[in-house]
Structure 1
Amino acid sequence: MWLSQSASPNYSGQHLNIQEIELEHPHTTNHHQHLVNPALRWLFSLATRSIGYSNLPAMLQPRLLLRKSQHSAPCKYLSIQQTISRSYATIVEPVKVDPIPSLATTAGFAPPPSTEKSSATFAMRTYKPRTPGVRHLKRPINDHLWKGRPFLPLTFAKKGHGKGGRNNSGRVTIRHRGGGHKRRIRVVDFARMTPGPHTVERIEHDPGRSAHIAFLNEEATGRKSYIVASEGMRAGDVVQSYRAGIPKDLLDSMGGVVDPGVLAAKTAWRGNCLPLHMVPVGTMVYCVGSSKERGAVFCRSAGTYATIISKDDMAKGGSKHVQVRLQSGEIRKVSKDACATIGVASNPHFQHRQLGKAGRKRWLNIRPTVRGLAMNAADHPHGGGRGKSKGNVDPVSPWGMPAKGGYKTRKTRNPNKWVVTPRERNHGKRRVK
């Protein structure tokens, strides 16, 4: 509370004076009743109302004691000699508590993914524009990654003319490849057939993929391996694979009877690899396989995942497949014995990165893409001619294949029997959400 001359009104044509103001804690609260001067009594009431005094609890109410002025006769010109300030709040505001959301019941089918934009924000690492190449450079913040070299026995050098997109005869089979920084290919275990607990020693960056990889150490034998890391996985975590079956100690802990609910609570943890028939409905998984005793083929890139949407009654010898929904919206059948890792693939903000300059693209082994319109007629169907027109022809690839309009190349007599619901094909247009 600040008391100034502007806060003391003119009472009977005279300025008021408070010579001494002290903070004390007497047992009574109505000190203004004991003031002899009615002007001081009025000023005290005005000051207490301005700070919300009556709204405070009794323990927090300040006690202001105004002593009688030493001069019994009123003075003509008086001023305030002291001011009081508080460094703590004088009004206690209630804290708003959000209500606990109701728990939704688990259905037989997993609900479709939400199309609303997430309100969660994330930070990207930016740089001070000391050079033009870093002005627009943005990278995900991954300070937990290993700063050293990889485990060399699980790597091999990437070399040969295959690095330039050539096959064994030297012909270009993949365009826009060549150059790039020296790399070593990491051998990643996508099958994960080895049972037993594995300890995560570190999380590493892999230049050959967008997701991060985890360096594992098998506790029983000390065998080393690489797997695709899940989001949130850190050094010191323990992961396990149950593709070889349920361990005996886990089966004994359930009393020798397999309870699906208890089994899921003990095994469906982040980073664990399970057969799809052991994964609960609605769980997000990545590194999903397609058949038994084979490695993962789906959802291996950064931030990707699939959702288990249905499992038929397998106890009665029913279906041998599980339906999963991919991020593209496609629903497909996979074997119930195929592998899947619980969680979401790591580095989910990889898609928001900006390279900042063309040279950084070349470091990634990516060469420039030339438009067909800028080529000669011998090199592309759109090339040649006078001016910048491709002529009265439809857009096609360099080999004459229609490039737009949803031209399908799969034969109608050979449909994909594993696809239950195909993904939405919007032909390059923005998807309606």
Structure 2
Amino acid sequence: MAEAQEGTTLTRGLIAGETTHVQRGCLQGKARSREKKGQATARRKRKAPDFNRPSRNVQSSTSWRHKLRVWIGESDKALEQFIISSRRAFTQSADKMLQPRLWQQQPWRQAQCLFRASTNAFARRTYATAAETPTVATTTRETTTDAIAFNPPTAAPSRRRGGFELRTYKPRTPGTRHLRRPINDHLWKGKPLAKLTFAKVGHGKGGRNCTGRVTVRHRGGGHRRRIRTVDFKRMEPGKHTVERIEYDPNRSTHLALLTRQKTGEKSYVLAADGMRAGDVIESYRAGIPGELLKSMGGVMDPGMLAAKTAFRGNCLPLRMIPLGTQVYAVGSTTGKGAVFCRSAGTFATVVSKEEVGKKVKEVTVRLQSGEVRRVSPDACATIGVASNPHHHFRMLGKAGRSRWLNIRPTVRGLAMNAADHPHGGGRGKSKGNVHPVSIWGTPAKGGYKTRAKRNPNKHVVQERVRNQGKRRTSKN
């Protein structure tokens, strides 16, 4: 009877619009579930950010969208066009490895990556490694800024090695821990000109002569090379454009690929320190051009002639070079090529000229070794310093790089047998009571002259300093 009355009361309450605690709980649960469904639907319908919509963080300096707008300096519509054009250009670029990762992501990721790639462009090289138009001169030698013939350029200041910087590497391997290299980012990254090279076949015999005997020790192996044909005479007149600067594995200096402006012929010459692609150089060994004489009024003034010809990379006879000028690739006789100062960073200084009347009979130069000698006035010389001056500061980092360079290990005589070296044999690490000698028995320290005194070199005015200026002992 009581249950019937309770059911009647519940029915009356429902008819009257009243709700019990059970119904209120059901309604609250439905509301919560409806709210969760609405949030899930909103998340599913969330679209990618619109570039035309203003950013919430426009005033913040950390917003990449704000940085991109400021960098371009255009409207939102121009920003969208920039992204489309950048995407089109990026797909055609050489960095194809990043394309599958980049464009499969969301649009805002694309724009962010584009912004980072565009800002990294400022950190790249701003100079050319090769001239785009070899037949057109991009620089002129008639300027006052090129007056480095008397003061060759030096490297950029740094805290390492007293004024210049060497490239180091992260020690991911033991061979790169101590690796040090000069920074030469201007070098050509491609292959050399094939018609100016030939294969090194029969030239590298591991230090052996034609009979098979070892004449040069510590040579053998090494990577295969192609020998570059270098023009040491430079008899071709006219202006030449430097197309690019290349690395040569057969020498320490760099090579410059020249293109003659009149005929388009190409040749390799030794590059000067500071020479870059696009420079214009000239050779005056064949004579002075008529245009140059007309510009000087038809009068051969040595001062004006030096001011118009003595520029970096130009090849001149030594009689036309002013005193005190630093030169490299110096010849010794008339009509022949360069024989002195051809290594990296070397140079000679013009000391004096011996004149008989109005003609120069001999020119005295001081080599970098300290030797002073006479050379022919018509011998060639190039203005400047040989390229790659920091070559001797490099560190190979491991023994394998020496083997790549055709250099075999050097074994101490103390570690050899008595039959192989005068210091060999014995018990322990003792060479015995003997002075240091070479493998052939000649004194190895203290200085030892091998040239006969009765036949001196008549061209040498002052010999180079031997034994670091110290006196030799009577034993040596």
Counterpart among 327, 338, 345 of residue 303 in structure 1 = 345
Matched position secondary structure for 2:401: helix
Alpha-carbon deviation of 1:249? Answer: 1.4
Counterpart among 419, 422, 434 of residue 378 in structure 1 = 419
**Aligned-residue CA RMSD in angstroms?**
1.9
Cα distance change on mapping 1:427 and 1:269 into 2, 3 Å: closer
Q: Does 1:213 align with 2:250?
A: no
| Match in the other structure for 1:417 | 458
Is the Cα contact below 8 Å between 1:284 and 1:342 reproduced in 2?
yes
Q: Does 1:387 align with 2:428?
A: yes
Give the AA of the match of 2:223. Answer: H
Q: Deviations over 1:7-27 (max 9, x none)?
A: xxxxxxxxxxxxxxxxxxxxx
Q: Deviations over 1:302-333 (max 9, x none)?
A: 1111111111224445x621111112222111
The whole-number CA distance in structure 2 between the counterparts of 1:123 and 1:199 is: 29
The whole-number CA distance in structure 1 between the counterparts of 2:405 and 2:358 is: 52
Runs (4+) off by over 4 Å: 427-430
Alpha-carbon deviation of 1:428? Answer: 8.7
Q: How does 1:340-355 map to 2 (within 5 A)?
A: 340-355=381-396
Matched position secondary structure for 1:164: coil
Is the Cα contact below 8 Å between 2:355 and 2:362 reproduced in 1?
no
Is the Cα contact below 8 Å between 2:315 and 2:380 reproduced in 1?
yes
Is the Cα contact below 8 Å between 1:161 and 1:170 reproduced in 2?
no
| Match in the other structure for 1:185 | 227
The whole-number CA distance in structure 2 between the counterparts of 1:427 and 1:197 is: 43
The whole-number CA distance in structure 1 between the counterparts of 2:469 and 2:197 is: 38
| Match in the other structure for 1:124 | 166
Deviates more, 1:331-340 or 1:246-255: 246-255
Is the Cα contact below 8 Å between 1:332 and 1:419 reproduced in 2?
yes
| Match in the other structure for 1:148 | 190
Cα distance change on mapping 1:428 and 1:149 into 2, 3 Å: farther
Is the Cα contact below 8 Å between 1:251 and 1:257 reproduced in 2?
yes
Alpha-carbon deviation of 1:340? Answer: 0.2
Alpha-carbon deviation of 1:195? Answer: 0.8
Give the AA of the match of 2:315. Answer: C
The whole-number CA distance in structure 2 between the counterparts of 1:155 and 1:315 is: 46
Cα distance change on mapping 1:323 and 1:370 into 2, 3 Å: same
Q: Does 1:339 align with 2:362?
A: no
Counterpart among 184, 197, 212 of residue 170 in structure 1 = 212
Cα distance change on mapping 1:366 and 1:428 into 2, 3 Å: farther
Is the Cα contact below 8 Å between 1:285 and 1:344 reproduced in 2?
yes
Alpha-carbon deviation of 1:387? Answer: 2.4
TM-score w.r.t. the length of structure 1 is 0.69
The whole-number CA distance in structure 2 between the counterparts of 1:207 and 1:253 is: 42
Aligned residues: 313
Deviates more, 1:288-297 or 1:162-171: 162-171
Give the AA of the match of 1:166. Answer: R
The whole-number CA distance in structure 2 between the counterparts of 1:352 and 1:427 is: 20
Cα distance change on mapping 1:267 and 1:427 into 2, 3 Å: closer
Q: Deviations over 1:143-197 (max 9, x none)?
A: 1110100001111111337341111111111100001111111111111111111
Alpha-carbon deviation of 1:386? Answer: 2.5
Deviates more, 1:333-342 or 1:412-421: 412-421
Matched position secondary structure for 1:121: coil
Q: Deviations over 1:314-355 (max 9, x none)?
A: 4445x6211111122221111111100000111111111111
Cα distance change on mapping 1:343 and 1:155 into 2, 3 Å: same
The whole-number CA distance in structure 2 between the counterparts of 1:230 and 1:209 is: 14
| Match in the other structure for 2:267 | 225
Alpha-carbon deviation of 1:258? Answer: 0.6
| Match in the other structure for 2:397 | 356
| Match in the other structure for 1:274 | 316
Cα distance change on mapping 1:325 and 1:428 into 2, 3 Å: closer
Is the Cα contact below 8 Å between 2:334 and 2:379 reproduced in 1?
yes
Q: Does 1:264 align with 2:264?
A: no
Alpha-carbon deviation of 1:426? Answer: 2.7
| Match in the other structure for 1:408 | 449
| Match in the other structure for 1:159 | 201
**Structure 2: gaps spanning 5 or more residues:** 1-149, 151-157, 472-476
The whole-number CA distance in structure 1 between the counterparts of 2:246 and 2:356 is: 39
Cα distance change on mapping 1:428 and 1:391 into 2, 3 Å: farther
Is the Cα contact below 8 Å between 1:215 and 1:225 reproduced in 2?
yes
Give the AA of the match of 1:396. Answer: V
Give the AA of the match of 1:123. Answer: E
Matched position secondary structure for 2:417: coil
Cα distance change on mapping 1:161 and 1:425 into 2, 3 Å: closer
Matched position secondary structure for 1:313: strand
Is the Cα contact below 8 Å between 1:404 and 1:427 reproduced in 2?
no
Counterpart among 314, 317, 333 of residue 291 in structure 1 = 333
Which has the greater radius of gyration?
2
Matched position secondary structure for 1:415: coil
Is the Cα contact below 8 Å between 1:406 and 1:427 reproduced in 2?
no
Identity %: 74
Give the AA of the match of 1:283. Answer: T
Is the Cα contact below 8 Å between 1:204 and 1:213 reproduced in 2?
yes
Cα distance change on mapping 1:149 and 1:161 into 2, 3 Å: closer
The whole-number CA distance in structure 2 between the counterparts of 1:222 and 1:419 is: 41
Q: Does 1:252 align with 2:310?
A: no
